[in-house]
């Protein structure tokens, strides 16, 4: 082969080799890109599945609903349990701002049954107030809620011991509760319902609750940094209702 043609042939083969390498490199880039996209989709899918599984398998706590004060229809599809302390300012805020909305939107509509349990940890008179509330509950479940509202309305400084037996009886009298006031004072002083208050606190300890208010919606702890976010709470309640209807 003449030198010129030989040179042209070599140049052609070199060009073809370069072209082939470029095509191979392009195919590798496409392949790695496709694999990368697939991996991302797989990771996202697994994350979603993990979140869904976590929600659906979250531990469901059991409560003795039949022996707790209840606001609303006990047969409602969603049951909410509040752990509260009568000396807790955040509980007062929740009771006066969020609970009325829950009552209007859900409780009065027969969609939610609302329960209360004592987590009396702020001071000795937290326990005294819990004893008084349990006494009123055993006299009249409906009046328990009126009394609960009245205690929060008359709440004193959490650093001071204000929830004495006399104070708690006077709160009931000021609200004109149709209960036996002498029995209320006797129940407080003799700690008639100590075992019930202790059981509430023991349940809170078992659940490792860090403060009040703490809510459980159909047995699942409602975790939120802001209990004043009513829209977020509504979403949690609506989700619980959907799960209950399945």
222-242 pLDDT, tens digit per residue, is 988 788 899 999 999 999 999
Q: Which of 59, 73, 193 is nearest to 133 (CA)?
A: 193
- pLDDT at position 48 is 44
pLDDT band at 27 (very low <50, low <70, confident <90, very high): low
- pLDDT at position 45 is 47
Quote helix, strand, coil % in the chain, to nearest 5: 60, 10, 30
Is the pLDDT higher at 157 or at 2?
Answer: 157
CB atoms under 10 Å from CB of 201, counted, come to: 20
- Return mean pLDDT, the chain: 87
35-87 pLDDT, tens digit per residue, is 454 455 544 444 445 444 444 456 899 999 999 999 999 999 999 999 999 99
pLDDT band at 156 (very low <50, low <70, confident <90, very high): very high
- pLDDT at position 224 is 81
Strands 70-71 and 112-118: antiparallel
- pLDDT at position 51 is 43
Burial of 239 per CB tally in 10 Å (0-12, 13-18, 19+): middle
Strands ordered across the beta sheet of 112-118: 70-71, 112-118, 78-84, 214-217, 220-222
Burial profile 20-45: b = 16 or more Cβ within 10 angstroms, e = fewer: eeeeeeeeeeeeeeeeeeeeeeeeee
Contact status, residue 141 vs residue 71, Cβ threshold 8 Å: no
Q: Give the whole-angstrom CA distance, residue 116 versus residue 33.
A: 56
Residue 93 to residues 88, 144, 201, Cα–Cα distance (Å): 9, 18, 21
Which residues lie below 8 Å from residue 140, measured CB to CB, with a gap of 6+?
177, 178, 179
Contact status, residue 195 vs residue 67, Cβ threshold 8 Å: no
Q: Give the whole-angstrom CA distance, residue 244 versus residue 163.
A: 39
């Amino acid at each position: 082969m003449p030198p010129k043609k030989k040179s042209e042939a070599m140049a052609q083969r070199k060009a073809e080799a370069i072209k082939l390498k470029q095509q191979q490199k392009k195919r590798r880039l496409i392949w790695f890109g496709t694999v990368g996209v697939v991996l991302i989709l797989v990771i996202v899918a697994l994350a979603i599945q993990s979140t869904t599984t976590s929600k659906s398998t979250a531990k469901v706590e059991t409560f003795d609903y039949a022996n707790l004060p209840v606001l609303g229809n006990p047969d409602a599809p969603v049951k909410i349990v509040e752990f509260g302390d009568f000396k807790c300012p955040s509980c007062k805020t929740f009771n006066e701002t969020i609970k009325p909305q829950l009552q209007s939107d859900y409780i009065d509509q027969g969609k939610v049954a609302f329960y209360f349990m004592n987590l009396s940890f702020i001071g000795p008179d937290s326990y005294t107030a819990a004893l008084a509330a349990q006494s009123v509950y055993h006299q009249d479940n409906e009046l328990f809620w009126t009394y609960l509202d009245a205690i929060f309305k008359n709440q004193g400084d959490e650093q001071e011991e204000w929830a004495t037996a006399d104070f708690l009886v006077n709160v009931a009298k000021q609200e004109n509760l149709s209960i036996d006031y002498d029995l209320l004072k006797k129940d407080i002083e003799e700690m008639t319902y100590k075992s019930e208050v202790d059981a509430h606190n023991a349940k809170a300890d078992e659940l490792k609750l860090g403060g009040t208010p703490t809510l459980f919606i159909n047995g699942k702890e409602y975790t939120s940094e802001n209990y004043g976010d009513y829209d977020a709470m509504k979403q949690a309640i609506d989700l619980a209702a959907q799960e209950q209807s399945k």
